[in-house]
Amino acid sequence: MTPILELRNVRKAYGSFVAVDNVSMAVPAGSIFGLLGPNGAGKTSSIRMIMNITAPDSGEVTVFGHPRTSEDLRRIGYLPEERGLYRKMTVMDQLVFLGEIRGLRGPKLVADIQQWLERVDLAKWAKSKIEELSKGMQQKVQLIGTVLHQPDLLILDEPFSGLDPLNQELFRDLLLGYRSQGKSVVLSTHGMELAERMCDHICLISHGRAVLDGELKAIKRQVGGNNYRLVADGDLERLKTLPEVEQATVQDGVVKLMLRPEAQVGEALRRMVEFLNVHELRSEEPELEQIFLKAVRDSA
């Protein structure tokens, strides 16, 4: 199936600083795609090239199966990291304005806005000015403005930043519902827990380069053979000094271990029992955060 969005060897430099270094990625239709990486990795620069805000120095961006055109941008909903609302406008006036920019008009636009406001628990704030809303409420307004024209592709740059857990769940449910309609979402974030719960595919960018790309389940299977759950008593922090151990995350007496690729679990266990009383050691699927940390370290 043709990807709904594809970057092919895209590069962008600002003077001597290379923000995006020959990045390639393909977003399948009907998926939530995680564009992941630490702050400053090149995620926002990549999104700006997708949206034609800046032009790549080399490489190609295709959407909906062909080189991007201005008409294609009408089928995309874009939520930038820098929020752009008019603080003196009311919520309703702001959303009517954003809808009209997309060619929406009349009573149906107002009815759609009212329906969205009720869905995100903002209906009673419809006549309030944007400046009277909390940051999380403003983000809800901006998200509504992004999806009002029912785009086929959503591109969201750090949409969960500053949201409390309740509103994070609301955004998550909205995006999962969007995917269930057969539409696609590109989600740029450095929040690994939410990305793991939502994303079908990921591309991890570090220092402007794509260091991990593919279906999340397949990536977990690929690296899962070196991940273990350890329950033991003793000096658990000492595990981090063992030559076989890549990562050791200790929480409430349970350790999530990632061994080095060349490590033998039997030899690691032999070393552990010298200073630990081991109750359990079993293989388990790695968390996305573990994969993320290892990929970033390896790319440094």
Would 144 be classed as within a structural domain? Answer: yes
In a shared domain, residues 186 and 243: no
In a shared domain, residues 148 and 9: yes
In a shared domain, residues 196 and 76: yes
**Which domain covers residue 229, as residue numbers?**
223-299
In a shared domain, residues 160 and 20: yes
Contact 46, 23 (CB under 8 A): yes
Residue 224 has pLDDT above 80, yes or no: no
Would 189 be classed as within a structural domain? Answer: yes
First to last CA, the chain: 34
Q: Quote the distance between the C-alpha of residue 133 and its chain's center.
A: 25
In a shared domain, residues 132 and 15: yes
- CATH number of residue 43's parent domain: 3.40.50.300
Would 214 be classed as within a structural domain? Answer: no
For 243-283, the pLDDT digits (tens) are 999 889 898 889 999 898 888 999 999 999 999 999 999 98
For the sheet with 201-206, list strands across it.
Answer: 76-79, 153-157, 184-189, 32-36, 201-206, 209-215
In a shared domain, residues 30 and 160: yes
298 confidence band (pLDDT: 50, 70, 90)? confident
Would 72 be classed as within a structural domain? Answer: yes
In a shared domain, residues 158 and 229: no
Give dist(CA 179, CA 142) in Å, integer. 19
Q: What is the dihedral of CA 106, 53, 2, 65, to 10 degrees?
A: 80
Residue 294 has pLDDT above 90, yes or no: no
In a shared domain, residues 191 and 116: yes
Would 218 be classed as within a structural domain? Answer: no
Q: Which residue has the higher pLDDT, 1 or 237?
A: 237
Number of domains in the chain: 2
- CATH number of residue 230's parent domain: 3.30.70
Would 215 be classed as within a structural domain? Answer: no
Residue 181 has pLDDT above 70, yes or no: yes
Which tokens sit at 201? 């595919």
Is 154 exposed, middle or buried (CB count within 10 Å of its CB: 0-12, 13-18, 19+)? Answer: buried
Would 213 be classed as within a structural domain? Answer: no
